[in-house]
Amino acid sequence: MEIRRGIGVSGGYAIGEALVIDREEYKISRRSIAPEELDAEIRRLEKAAEAAETEIRAQVRGMPRRVREVAGAILEAQVRPLQDVQAEIREDVRKNLWGAEYAISRTINKKVKTLEDAGQGNAATAAYASRIIPTLVEIEKVLIRHLLGAKRENVSNLSTPVIIVAHDLSPGQTVTLDRIKVLGILTEVGGPTSHTAIVAKSLGIPAVVGVEGIGSDISGGDTVILDGSGGTVITNPDAGTMKRYQAMERNFALLEKQRAKELQHVPAVTKDGTNIEIFANIETPDEIPTALEHGAEGVGLYRTEFLYLTHGFNPSEQDHVDAYQRAVGLLGKRRLVIRTMDLGADKVPVEGLPVEENPFLGTRAIRLCFEKPDVFRIQLRAILRVAPMGNIEFMLPMITSLSEILQVKEIVEDVRRELQHEGVTVSEKVPMGIMLEVPAAALITDILAPHVDFFSVGTNDLIAYSVAVDRRNERVAPLYQPGHPAILRLLKHIIEAAARHNKPISVCGEMSSDIIYTPLLLGLGLRRFSVAPPVIPDLKKMVCSLSLDDARAVSERALSFDDARTTVNFLRERARQLMPDTL
């Protein structure tokens, strides 16, 4: 048992198996074997090593002769460590009766750790370590890949819950992680305002950041206890500790439930009596019960990408219908906003689509829908079919111009006629909105307004496209600033234009899930929020703590600043004054 301390950034307890994601492509379980299984396990390991060796040799053979002389020698050199490390792994399996995967992970880990320690305070050794570690990690990956064979579980598609351990999580990784299966998050770097912290908090996943050295201290499959409030991290706990934390975990969950329940039926009304609507962002209908328990009025953003990711990028009409019907069944008469497919060419291996050099400025979302109208029509058919059963609306991502909206309207009309022709009952009108997440669209909100029924602002992309920053790129990530004066001006422009045309508008990006921005958004005129369910109780409390005059004073002041840092500091301070207990 080992105890470490970091910064607790998202409350709650998590107990589970570790998944070290910078190194591992597949989930490694800590499995014990019975003494009589020992020989079979060793044979399994040997077979995997043989297969790995064959793979490396085949790679060498496949190279052009000239390359083979140089690169081949390097690959050949990898065969040796692969053979040598086996002896140690075998010893680990024999002595501890561990499954081979876990023994590999532990053995390689020990070596990586030794090299990292040697590199401490010595630049030459650190440089050596940084060249050698990838080779060791590669050996681990290759062996595990062959051990698991067809059984392997991909990180983005887990069948059992895990605690994610990483050096740092990029925003990109948090998107691809299977959120439902993530019990807790543990990172080496980061602070209370880091991206990981904000995302974990908004998702209600316990998280501890700033725990030095955990990447190599913890092996995949280790049992980890994580206290997201206190910042404690325990690896391979003894039975007593385990029991104690299991009890604390139960208590915490109970308390959370109580707190949400207390606020569940408290309406979100400002001090001067203005009603504020709060909706939930969800990825699957499974999240709806929790969202409602937390006090959501409905679903303001149903991201349908999950459907595509779990159905080999090609869900059938019935897959869509089943999911939407389930959502309607859980929501009843409450509002459900389905966002049509928002995938990029970088994620969808659609046949006939070229790999793009810059997917974020490429065939994403609605653009992909236009390129693959058959796929788009399947989703539209499902939406129109389920619409009469509930309070359904839909919205389009990545709209940049009016012509795109008109084009979708034509397709929708065509699909409607097609359904009617088939004798299917279809609603006369299903409200259609658009996401405002590209600056070009934001600046022509007034032009687009007459043609849509509502707007939803996707602040994540709107900010990224405005300040030209890919948040997954660590070198420029600090330039991603929600408090940038340009973003505040854009939001003011959008919200005012929508109000002039009497079109409802909500903000569904991360900015609305971070309550330091709530007074600003209310002051700018926002009356509808769509947020991650765990945030709703705090958001309600924030709304109830101020009047619209207070909020306007905040937004006016915020708009007067020259730079993001002053703005964010001011907003954080104001939020702290309004909700001293929470912040």
Partner 1 sequence: MAEKTVTVVNTLGLHVRPVAMLAGTAARFSSSISILKDGQTANAKSSVDLLTLAAVVGSALTIRAHGADADAAVDALAHLFEDKFGEE
d(CA 231, CA 9): 8
Q: Which of 146, 195, 294, 320 is catalytic?
A: 195
Annotate 120-146 with b (16+ C-beta within 10 A) or e (fewer). Answer: eeeeeeeeebeeebeebbbbbbbbbbb
Of 110 and 335, which CB lies nearer to partner 1 in the complex structure?
A: 110
The alpha carbon of residue 4 and the mean position of all alpha carbons in its chain are separated, in whole angstroms, by 26
Picking from 212, 163, 220, 207, the residue whose alpha carbon sits closest to that of residue 189 is 212
Which distant-in-sequence residues (6+ apart) come within 8 Å of 361 by Cβ? none
The Cα–Cα gap between 148 and 24 comes to: 13
Min dist. Cβ of residue 115 to partner 1 (A): 6
Q: Which residue of 10, 78, 281, 506 would you call a contact of partner 1, by CB under 8 A?
A: 78
Angstrom distance (rounded) from CA 556 to CA 573: 15
CA distance 410 to 370: 12
Candidates 9, 15, 115, 321: give the one binding partner 1 (CB under 8 A). Answer: 115
Nearer to partner 1, 84 or 573 (CB): 84
Taking the complex as a whole, the smallest distance from the CB of residue 114 to partner 1 amounts, in Å, to 4
Q: What is the Cα–Cα distance from 80 to 11, expressed in whole angstroms?
A: 46
Cβ 67 to partner 1 shortest distance, Å? 16
Closest by CA position to 395, among listed 505, 502, 539:
505
Pick from 2, 69, 84, 262 the residue near partner 1 by CB under 8 A.
84
With binding defined as CB under 8 A, does residue 85 bind partner 1? Answer: yes
**DSSP assigned state of 212:** T
Task: Decide: residue 205, CB within 10 A, 0-12 exposed, 13-18 middle, 19+ buried.
Answer: buried
Question: Least distance from C-beta 464 to partner 1, angstroms?
Answer: 39
Kindly indicate which of the ranges 74-82, 97-105, 190-198, 302-310 contains the residues binding partner 1, using the contact rule CB under 8 A: 74-82
Q: State in angstroms the smallest separation of the CB of 131 from partner 1.
A: 6
Strand, helix or coil for residue 29:
coil
For residue 234, the surrounding DSSP H or E stretch is strand 232-235
Does 74 contact partner 1 by CB under 8 A?
A: yes
The residue among 104 and 368 lying less far from partner 1, judged by its C-beta, is 104
**For partner 1, which residue of 127, 255, 266, 447 counts as binding (CB under 8 A)?**
127
When the beta carbons of 78 and 173 are compared against partner 1, the nearer one is 78
Per the CB < 8 A criterion, the answer to whether 517 and 539 are in contact is no
- Size, binding site for partner 1 by CB under 8 A: 27
Binding of partner 1 by 87 (CB under 8 A): yes
Q: Is 137 in the site for partner 1 (CB under 8 A)?
A: no
- Backbone torsion region of residue 298, taken as left when φ is above 0, otherwise alpha when ψ lies between -120 and 50, otherwise beta: left
Q: Is 128 in the site for partner 1 (CB under 8 A)?
A: yes
Known catalytic residue at 508: yes
67 binds partner 1 (CB under 8 A): no
Binding region for partner 1 (CB under 8 A) out of 25-33, 134-142, 156-164, 444-452? 134-142
Cα angle 520, 531, 17 (rounded to 5 degrees) comes to 125
Q: Which is nearer to partner 1, 139 or 498 (CB)?
A: 139
The strand ranges marked E within 413-558 are 432-436, 454-457, 505-507, 528-531
**Identified binder of partner 1 from the candidate list 32, 96, 114, 577, rule CB under 8 A:** 114
59 binds partner 1, rule: CB under 8 A: no
Judge whether 369 counts as a catalytic residue: no
Segment lying near partner 1 (by CB under 8 A), choices 56-64, 115-123, 247-255, 549-557: 115-123
Q: How far is the CB of 326 from partner 1 (least distance, A)?
A: 51
CA distance 205 to 169: 14
Q: Which of 77, 440, 447, 476 binds partner 1 (CB under 8 A)?
A: 77
Determine the Cα–Cα distance for residues 404 and 410; give it in Å rounded to an integer: 10
Q: From the CB of 125, what's the least distance to partner 1, in Å?
A: 5
Find the shortest distance in angstroms from Cβ 32 to partner 1: 25
Report which of 298, 300, 293 is spatially closest to residue 331, judged by C-alpha positions.
298
Nearer of residues 76 and 422 to partner 1, judged by Cβ: 76
| 445 and 497 Cβ atoms separated by less than 8 Å | yes
Based on the shown chain and the rule CB under 8 A, indicate whether residue 111 belongs to the binding site for partner 1. Answer: yes
Contact pick of 88, 293, 346, 453 for partner 1 (by CB under 8 A): 88
Residues binding partner 1 (CB under 8 A): 73-74, 76-81, 84-85, 87-88, 111, 114-115, 118-119, 124-125, 127-129, 131-132, 135-136, 139
Task: Provide the annotated active-site residues.
Answer: 195, 508
